[in-house]
Chains A and B, each alone.
Chain A
Amino acid sequence: MNPVLHEMRRALTSKSVIILLVVLISLVGVLTYAFSAFGTQTTASGLQVQDNAVLLNATGNYTVVNYITNAYGAPIQGYQIQLNATEYSDNRSSNLFEANLTTSASGYANYTFSHSKVNSSSTGPQVDISIMSNNPGQQGINLASLALYDQLNAKDPFQYTLSLISDPGHPTSSGFLLSYRSINSGSSPAVNLFLDKQPQSYSGINPGLKNATFLGTYSGFSNVAVYPSVNTSDFYQVLVYNHNNTTSLYNGSFVATFNSGSPVGTYESIVLVLVSTITGYILILAAIFVGYFIYGKDRALGVADSVLAMPISRKGLILSRYVSGSLTMLVLSAASMGLAALLIHVLQGASIPLQFVAILILGLTSTAMSFLGLMYLFSHLTKSTGALIGVSIFLFLLFTIAWSMLAVFVPMILGFTPGSAGYNQMYVVLIFMNPTSITTVATEVYYSSISTTGILSPSMYGINVYSLSAMILLWVLVPIVLAFYLAIKRD
């Protein structure tokens, strides 16, 4: 077998690495499940997309239709809603009804009420329905308000509505969810969808089909998600026509780049970041272990000598072992984050953008490779397995625990006032100097590329793709390059 392949196979199939993989996968599974289960109760406000309508049934009853999805258009089950209806009569108002609802697996929470006095009035609506969140921690947040001006308004045989959603595969791209509601609960007949780019904000006037792009013919749907090709920040109008384009059934608009649909701050992204943070520590331990097992221990015990006596250069030996160790780290990172993303998709119906998952894998792998490189470096600076184990424990404690204290206290010792710009800048610089922060910085850079919100306000402190690259180069390359030098120049 090719020696480099042997090294890789040896690292990946060693009992210890397989045990690590199983432990990591199990931990990721349990954590993701636990966080996801918790998340169904506390879905962050502003993330869900709701579609509401009031229909007058053939029986004379009104039905308030509430349809709740996540930012990607997937139905949310178990979302709690409170309806408050107020009736107006002359100059007086009185509560008509109050109802607490929970969405079903299909995302619907409907409420039917009977009322005979919803008539047109010159002074305002006769019935006003307020729709609020009733989820724990979000009670009272207004989702929508519906006003019934007259019976005719609700007696329309059907309604199309448009909600803005994000493309799960491209979180910065907008899409739309077209919903169809009818009094007989049926699905939409065949309609043609068109998209028309508007030069300015929505005028409310149907621009016609002259310059519109045909998106397709859709039929038999209650809700359909469409992700047309759009340009960021541009205004678009969606036109719904009957099958032979003779009648306009609906037109609505949206603005491309729908930030709330991006993964920034979404619950599923928070779950993934939490899981990646915890698994990050396990991966650091794994890197230390793998570095010790496939290189440090072999060097200290003289096992590496038996390999070095073979036709392989000193550079070749360390390179093959570093590549196999790094590959092991990549497999562990990818397996854990891939599983977490998959579980979030299954449990929450949310699609984590691949780009975001890739950023986390990059961050975790880079951190792990940093520690791998440090282990290789200290394998050349220590003379025994005991000393190497001691250094490993020191490095782990330094970077995972002690460093955060250093980052807090060093700026103070240097005279910066906590909270001041100088203090914050120093704190961020110190964070940069810690390889365990690579994932955090990578996600911040990613956030800043798609949103103006972020934990550290990245751009203020020089956190950008260049400083991230420099950080990765510093921690990933410097230790291993020094280790290479020592391997080639020293015994």
Chain B
Amino acid sequence: MIELTGLTKKFPKSKFPAVDDASLEINDGEIMGFAGLNGAGKTTTMRVIAGVLLPSSGKVLANGHDIVKDKIAASRTIAWVPESPNFEPDSKPAPLLRYYAGFFGVSGNEARERVDKALETVGLAQYTKKKLKNYSQGMKKRFSLAVSLVAERQNYLFDETLNGLDPEGLQFLRKLILGLKKEGKAVFLSSHILSELENLADRVAIIHRGKIVSITTPDQLANTKSETVKVVVANPDDKLRSLLAEYGSLEIRGGSITIRNFTGKTSAVNRMLLDKGYDVRNFSSEASLEDYFFSQVGEAK
């Protein structure tokens, strides 16, 4: 379990705090999504939780241990998979993983077994003779995942880990994250791929300009008015825009129409279009995180 209480991080030469009075809890067995625009404060928050940055004020507790005052105990419970992993470039993966295992009191044959298993799990078993400086960015991410697996932790931080992974890697990571949830671990997952967060996360925290502007659940999401309607008509014309303008913000590309922040009844709109003689080929509506996200960010502005 991770608890943030009034977490603030201000960099010396910056006018505004990168993280501003952020409070949230990530419970055991929960996947907390973390969404925000570039520079919103996602990575800074993750780095403070990981113990890499010092908070300016506020508190981070990992399983009850303060990340500043009781760093060693807190760090024992946290696995951090950074957005851009940097490891000793001249090291080979296995010795470096054994080194990391040493921090958890794992050594000797046990360390060797765990390292072999972790490398096998992330698909790097056949690349152990390569130095890390010769790894691609994707391989470095996989290695970073192996670091998080080499010793058992209770809390997992994935910072934009989905970015840059190939489809196989994405699938592996989804399985891994869901597996961790099943095992009762707390997972904090930041991503730009909002649909992934929608599918994986139990709750999603949205951060904007350092402030957590909302924390929502998929159920709450379903009830939100931020609904998007997508319509495809075979015979579009100039009147379509004036007919649909009152239902939300429009995006028309030929016969494809997207109505964001839809207000009204979808069945009534569908009927109206048919009555007006439009050949409606597709009519769908969904409450999406993306819309919700933009609505929240917009409100925060």
Contact = CB atoms under 8 A, between A and B. Distances in A.
B99 interface: yes
Interface in A465-491: 489-491
Contacts of A310: 75, 100, 103
Interface in A11-62: 14-15
B212 interface: no
Contacts of B86: 301-303, 305-306
Nearest to A301: B86
Contacts of A308: 50-52
B99 A298 contact: no
A345 interface: no
A301 B85 CA distance: 10
Contact of B99 (A1, A313, A489, A490): A1
Given A1-B99, A3-B103, A311-B104, A490 B147 contact: no
Contact residues on B (Cβ < 8 Å of other chain), bracket:
20 to 34
B72 A309 contact: no
A314 interface: yes
B53 A491 contact: yes
Interface in B75-108: 75-76, 78, 80, 82, 84-90, 98-100, 102-104, 107
B87 A303 contact: yes
Given A302-B86, A303-B87, A309 B52 contact: yes
A402 interface: no
11 contacts: A1-B99, A2-B107, A3-B102, A6-B99, A14-B90, A305-B82, A306-B85, A306-B86, A309-B78, A310-B100, A311-B72
A312 interface: yes
Contacts of B71: 311-314
Interface residues of A, number: 24
Contacts of B52: 305, 308-309
Given A302-B86, A306-B87, A311-B103, A490 B54 contact: yes
Which of A310, A316, A491 has the most B CB atoms < 10 Å from its CB?
A310
Given A303-B88, A305-B86, A490-B54, A311 B76 contact: yes
A312 to B, nearest CB: 6
Interface string A296-333: 00100111011011111110100000000000000000
User: Which 9 pairs from chain A and chain B are nearest by CB?
Assistant: A310-B103, A302-B86, A311-B75, A311-B76, A309-B80, A305-B52, A311-B72, A6-B99, A309-B50
B67 to A, nearest CB: 10
Nearest to A313: B71
Interface in A284-306: 298, 301-303, 305-306
A1 B107 CA distance: 5
B103 A312 contact: yes
Given A302-B86, A306-B86, A312 B99 contact: no
A489 B84 CA distance: 25
A202 to B, nearest CB: 68
Contacts of B104: 311
Given A3-B102, A306-B86, A312-B103, 14 more contacts: A1-B102, A2-B107, A14-B90, A302-B84, A302-B86, A303-B86, A305-B52, A306-B82, A310-B103, A311-B103, A312-B71, A490-B54, A491-B53, A491-B54
A491 B47 CA distance: 11
Interface string A431-443: 0000000000000
B87 A312 contact: no
B54 to A, nearest CB: 6
Given A303-B86, A491-B54, A312 B107 contact: no
Contacts of A14: 90
A124 B99 CA distance: 86
A202 B147 CA distance: 80
Contact of A3 (B53, B78, B90, B99): B99
A96 B86 CA distance: 87
A154 B82 CA distance: 93
Interface string B60-78: 0000000000011101101
A306 B102 CA distance: 14
